[in-house]
C-alpha cells in the first residue's frame, strides 16, 4: 500500500533535501496492516487531516515522539475494509471516522472497533476526516466542560486555526457572543464570515482595550469562557477580561510559551480551569456527525505542508 513515511525529523515548510527538512516521502511498498485482534477493524482511508500536532510531531517537538521511521497522521475517515471475528457493530463497506496519534497518512489503517465512529448518510466523508480533533476538542470543551450557554461571552484565541475556528462556530451554535483573536486582516475577514461578533488583530491591537470597548458597547460585564490554544502573553492579557466564575479551557501552547495562572487569583475569582487532552467524547463526536457540523467547503486538499499564514479549518489529504 501507499503511505507517507517520515525517515528523519525536520521542518515540513522548508524545501526538501536540507538538513532541517524532514525526509518524508510516499512509499509504495508498505505492507497492508493485518487485523491485530478479534475486535480490530481495517479501514481504507479516504481522507486524513493535517493538524498542528502533526506539524509539531514531524519536527520532534510534540509530547509524543514515535520512533523513526513512522507514518504520521491523526484524524481520518474512510470505509471499513475488513473486520475481526468479534466485531459486532461494523461491517465491510461502512463509513467511519476516528482519531489516532500516528499512522493515518496511509491507504489502510487498523483500529479497535470501539475507537471508530460511524459516519451517517448525508455527512460528507472527506469533511468527516477533519472532524475529530478540531471540532471534537471544541465541542467537549465548550459544551461538556464549560457548559457554554446562550448569551454568555466566549473569547477565542488563535481563532483562525483549526481548533480556534471550530470553537467560534460551535460558540455561535450555542448562542454565545464570540470575540475572536487572530493575526492579519485576511483572518479577521474569515472569522467574520463564520459568525464572530467581534474580531481583534493581535498583531497591532490591544486585546484588553478592544475587548473592553466591545463589551461596554454591548452592555456586557466580561468574558465567561476563555478558549486558549495559544498561551503566552495573549493568555496573560485575556485573564484580565474574565468575569468572576469564568471557565478557562487550556487547549495548547502554539506560541511556545506556557503561561502561568496564579491559583490564588483563580481562587478568589472562582475560576474553573480545564485541561483538554486525550480521548474524545463519544457523545460529542456523535452529536457533531449527526448535525453535519463540518461543511464540505472547509475541506482543502493539499500537500503535507501547513503554512501558518492561511486561515483554514483543517488541511486534508484526500484519496479517490
Q: Are residues 89 and 67 in the same domain?
A: yes
Rounded alpha-carbon distances, angstroms, from residue 174 to 11, 119, 139 = 38, 23, 10
Percent of the chain with pLDDT over 90: 62
Q: Are residues 100 and 163 in the same domain?
A: no
Q: Are residues 88 and 140 in the same domain?
A: no
Instruction: Give me the number of domains the chain comprises.
Output: 2
pTM > 0.85: yes or no: no
Percent helix, strand and coil across the chain, each rounded to 5?
30, 25, 45
Kindly state the average pLDDT of the residues 227-240. 96
**Range(s) of the domain holding residue 41:** 3-130+294-318
pLDDT at 207: 95
Residue 287 lies in a domain: no
The CATH number of the domain holding residue 58 is 3.90.180.10
Q: Are residues 124 and 140 in the same domain?
A: no
Beta-carbon contacts of 77 under 8 Å, excluding residues fewer than 6 positions away, are 45, 46, 47, 48, 95, 96, 97, 98, 119, 125, 126, 128, 129, 131
Q: Are residues 148 and 195 in the same domain?
A: yes
Q: Are residues 52 and 172 in the same domain?
A: no
Rounded alpha-carbon distances, angstroms, from residue 142 to 154, 247, 301 = 9, 9, 28
Q: Are residues 126 and 138 in the same domain?
A: no
Question: How does pLDDT run across 47-104, given as a tens digit for each residue?
Answer: 998 887 888 888 888 878 899 999 999 889 999 999 999 999 999 999 999 989 899 9
The CATH number of the domain holding residue 263 is 3.40.50.720
Residue 271 lies in a domain: yes
Q: Are residues 16 and 118 in the same domain?
A: yes
Residue in this structure with the C-alpha cell 486558549, named with its chain if needed: 228
Q: Are residues 41 and 60 in the same domain?
A: yes
Rounded alpha-carbon distances, angstroms, from residue 109 to 43, 76, 299 = 5, 9, 21
Mean pLDDT, all residues of the chain: 86
Residue in this structure with the C-alpha cell 473486520, named with its chain if needed: 83
67 near 101, Cβ under 8 Å? no
Question: How does pLDDT run across 187-202, given as a tens digit for each residue?
Answer: 999 999 999 999 999 9
Q: Are residues 267 and 175 in the same domain?
A: yes
Of 313, 320, 319, which Cα lies nearest the Cα of 130?
Answer: 313
pLDDT at 28: 87
Of 256, 257, 261, which Cα lies nearest the Cα of 273?
Answer: 261
Question: How does pLDDT run across 245-303, given as a tens digit for each residue?
Answer: 999 999 988 888 999 999 999 999 999 999 987 555 555 556 655 554 433 233 323 33
Residue 166 lies in a domain: yes
Amino acid at each position: 500500500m501507499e503511505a507517507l513515511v517520515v525517515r528523519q525529523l525536520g521542518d515540513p515548510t522548508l524545501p526538501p533535501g536540507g538538513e532541517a527538512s524532514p525526509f518524508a516521502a510516499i512509499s509504495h511498498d508498505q505492507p497492508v496492516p493485518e487485523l491485530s485482534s478479534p475486535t480490530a477493524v481495517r479501514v481504507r482511508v479516504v481522507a486524513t487531516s493535517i493538524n498542528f500536532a502533526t506539524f509539531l510531531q514531524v519536527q520532534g517537538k510534540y509530547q509524543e515522539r514515535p520512533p523513526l521511521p513512522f507514518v504520521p497522521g491523526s484524524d481520518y475517515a474512510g470505509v471499513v475494509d475488513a473486520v475481526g471475528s468479534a466485531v459486532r457493530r461494523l461491517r465491510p463497506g461502512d463509513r467511519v471516522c476516528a482519531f489516532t496519534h500516528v499512522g493515518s497518512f496511509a491507504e489502510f489503517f487498523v483500529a479497535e472497533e470501539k475507537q471508530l465512529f460511524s459516519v451517517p448518510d448525508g455527512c460528507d466523508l472527506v469533511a468527516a476526516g477533519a472532524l475529530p480533533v478540531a471540532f471534537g476538542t471544541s465541542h467537549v470543551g465548550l459544551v461538556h466542560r464549560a457548559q457554554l450557554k446562550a448569551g454568555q461571552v466566549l473569547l477565542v484565541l488563535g481563532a483562525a486555526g483549526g481548533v480556534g475556528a471550530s470553537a467560534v462556530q460551535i460558540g455561535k451554535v450555542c448562542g454565545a457572543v464570540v470575540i475572536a483573536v487572530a493575526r492579519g486582516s485576511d483572518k479577521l475577514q474569515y472569522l467574520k464570515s463564520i459568525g464572530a461578533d467581534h474580531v481583534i488583530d493581535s498583531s497591532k491591537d490591544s486585546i484588553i482595550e478592544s475587548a473592553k470597548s466591545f463589551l461596554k458597547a454591548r452592555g456586557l460585564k466580561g468574558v465567561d469562557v476563555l478558549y486558549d490554544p495559544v498561551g503566552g502573553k495573549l493568555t496573560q492579557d485575556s485573564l484580565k477580561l474574565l468575569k468572576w466564575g469564568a471557565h478557562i479551557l487550556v487547549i495548547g501552547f502554539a506560541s511556545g510559551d506556557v503561561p502561568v495562572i496564579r491559583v490564588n487569583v483563580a481562587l478568589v475569582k472562582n475560576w474553573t480551569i480545564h485541561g483538554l487532552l486525550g480521548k474524545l467524547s463519544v457523545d460529542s463526536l456523535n452529536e457533531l456527525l449527526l448535525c453535519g457540523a463540518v461543511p464540505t467547503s472547509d475541506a482543502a486538499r493539499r500537500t503535507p505542508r501547513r503554512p501558518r499564514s492561511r486561515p483554514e479549518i483543517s488541511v486534508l489529504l484526500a484519496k479517490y
